[in-house]
Structure 1
Amino acid sequence: MTRFVLVAGAWLGGWAWDEVASALREAGHEADAVTLSGLAERREVPAGLHTHVQDVVDHVERHDLRDVVLVGHSYSGVPVGQAAERIGGRLRHVVFVDANVPVDGESFLDGFPSDHIREALAASGGAWPPLPPGAYAGQGLTDAQIERIVTEGTPHPGATLTEPAALGRPLGELPATYVKCLLDGREPAPAVAALLKSDRWHLAEMNTGHWPMFSQPRELARLLDEAARQA
């Protein structure tokens, strides 16, 4: 039995992991889906990047979790990667699901061409609005899944995207698996490719798009189980 702590990416709350968490529990594991500050049922809570790091750390420490597998999807790879080193000996493994990774001294928006996101933040008063339905085309999602993401998603707090990450040691020293979703591009980003050179990092692939917790939840749960067993 492994204790998984699941953190979804931009716009999403813990609800995004419903099917994955259910499959993990069926396999005999425990699974907690964390909603970050400023999102979903916590949308009124002010948040920056370091708030999100602390959200994850606080959840692990408050519940006295041990032998933890932290799972970060998309944006949340940035706070999860920082939280992973801060929980120390409580960590068993960290899994980045088609995720951004923290780079010391850089923000989420520094990691790729992001002028369109900065413009959206300025136009919306500092929050990143959910994407329109058309942005999810070609990602292996049904119309119903796209509708759920769009209608249940909440604007993402902009400060979490612009505050720089802070790492106490090289991320490549953490025991990690990176799950690359091939419909979202076959090659990992340069920062991820560099980390995959570490003998502590492993690459897994899924033939689906950027939101596998919706498009292939049971396959994702299987990969998470496999990553935990290999840790």
Structure 2
Amino acid sequence: MTNYVLVAGAWLGGRAWDEVAEELRGGGHTAHPVTLSGLAEKRDAPAGQRTHVRDVVDAVEHAALTDVVLVGHSYAGIPVGQAAALLGDRLAHVVFVDSEVPADGKAFVATSWGGSVEAAIAEHGGSWPPPPAEEFGGQDLTDAQIGRLLDGATPHPGATLTEPAVLTRPLGELPATYVKCLLDGPEPNDAVVELLKSDRWRLVEMETGHWPMFSQPRELARILAEVPAPS
């Protein structure tokens, strides 16, 4: 049995993982979806980047989990990558699902999303609003799936996007899988390409868009269940 800790990207809470979690539990594993501070049912909680890292670490430590596969999607790759380095021998593997990865001293707004995110935060009182439904086109999502995604979306706290990451261990030393969703671009970004040179990292591709927990939850759960087993 493996303990999966699942963290969704910007705007989304733990409910984004409902279908994936059901598949994992059906395979005899445990699944622990995490809602980060400032989002979904925690939307009123103040949050910065360090808060989100602590949210992930606390989810593992408060439940006394071991043999943890830590999963971060999109934005959540940044706090998840930092948290993974803090978990010590509780961590079995980390999976980055079409995500950004943290760079020491750099914030999410230093990624390719950059200036547009900063402008949106400034225009919306310190939060990054969810995109309109039409921006999810071409991502292998049905109208119903887009509706469910947006029904669970809340504005994302801006401080988590502008505060820098702090790495206590090189990411290339972590046992990791990067899941690239090909409809969101055929290649990982340059930082991920460099990390994939590590013999501890591997690449898996999915023929779907950026939100595979909605578009292909069963296939994503299968990929997660096949990551290298805890030693």
Q: What's the TM-score bracket when you normalise by the shorter of the two chains?
A: over 0.9
CA contact 1:175–1:201 (8 Å) conserved in 2: yes
Task: Report the more deviating stretch, 24-33 or 107-116.
Answer: 107-116
Cα displacement (A) at 1:188? 0.2
Give, in whole Å, the separation in 2 of the partners of 1:19 and 1:212. Answer: 11
Tell me, in whole angstroms, the C-alpha distance in 2 between the residues paired with 1:225 and 1:114.
Answer: 33
1:171-182 aligned at under 5 Å gives the runs 171-182=171-182
Q: Distance in 2 between matches of 1:128 and 1:170?
A: 29
Taking structure 2 as the reference length, what is the TM-score of the superposition? 0.98
- Counterpart for residue 146 of structure 1: 146
* Separation of aligned partners in 2, 1:230 and 1:224: 13
Q: Residue 188 of structure 1 aligns to which amino acid in structure 2?
A: P
Alignment partners' CA distance in 2, 1:222 and 1:3? 14
Task: Please state how far the C-alpha of 1:113 moved relative to its aligned partner.
Answer: 4.5
Q: Which residue of 2 aligns with 1:166?
A: 166
Q: Which amino acid aligns with 1:44?
A: D
* 2:214 alignment counterpart: 214
Q: Classify 1:162/1:146 alpha carbon distance in 2 versus 1 (closer, same or farther; 3 Å).
A: same
Query: Does residue 17 of structure 1 match 2:31?
Result: no
What's the CA shift for 1:117?
1.1
TM superposition shift of 1:170? 1.0
Which residues of 2 match residues 51-62 of structure 1 at below 5 A? Answer: 51-62=51-62
TM-score, reference length from structure 1: 0.98
Is the 1:4–1:31 contact (alpha carbons within 8 Å) kept by the matching residues of 2? yes
Separation in structure 2 between the aligned mates of residue 228 and residue 204 of structure 1, nearest angstrom:
13
Separation in structure 1 between the aligned mates of residue 88 and residue 51 of structure 2, nearest angstrom? 18
Alignment of 1:67-86 (within 5 A): 67-86=67-86
Contact 1:69 1:228 in 2 (8 A): no
Query: Cα deviation per residue 1:90-123 (whole Å; 9 max; x = unaligned)?
Result: 0000000001000001001102152111111001
Aligned mates of 1:142, 1:171 — CA distance in 2: 35
Deviation at 1:205, TM superposition (A): 0.5
SS state at 1:227 partner: coil
Partners in 1 of 2:113 and 2:61 — Cα distance?
Answer: 36
Deviation at residue 228 of structure 1 after TM alignment: 3.9
Q: Which residue of 1 aligns with 2:35?
A: 35
Q: 2: distance between equivalents of 1:201 and 1:86?
A: 18
The 1-side partners of 2:164 and 2:226 are apart by 32
State the Cα deviation string for residues 32-72 of structure 1 (Å, max 9, x = none): 00000000000000000110000010111111111100000
Mapped partners of 1:17, 1:96: distance in 2:
14
- Measure how far apart 1:151 and its partner are: 2.5
The answer to whether the Cα contact below 8 Å between 1:2 and 1:228 also exists between their aligned partners in 2 is no
Q: CA RMSD in A?
A: 1.0
Amino acid at match of 2:212: P
In 1, Cα distance between equivalents of 2:113 and 2:30: 38
Instruction: Give the structure 1 partner of residue 135 of structure 2.
Output: 135
| Superposition deviation, residue 147 in structure 1 | 1.2
Identical counterparts, % of pairs? 66
Q: Aligned in 2, Cα 1:202/1:41: closer, same or farther, shift over 3 Å?
A: same
What's the counterpart of residue 111 of structure 2? 111
Residue aligning to 1:226: 226
Alpha-carbon spacing, 1:113–1:17, altered in 2? closer, same or farther (3 Å): closer
3-state SS, counterpart of residue 31 of structure 1: strand
Letter aligned with residue 44 of structure 2: E
SS in 1 for 2:227: helix
CA displacement at 1:27 relative to structure 2: 0.7
Amino acid in structure 1 at the alignment position of 2:148: R
Match of 1:188 in 2: 188
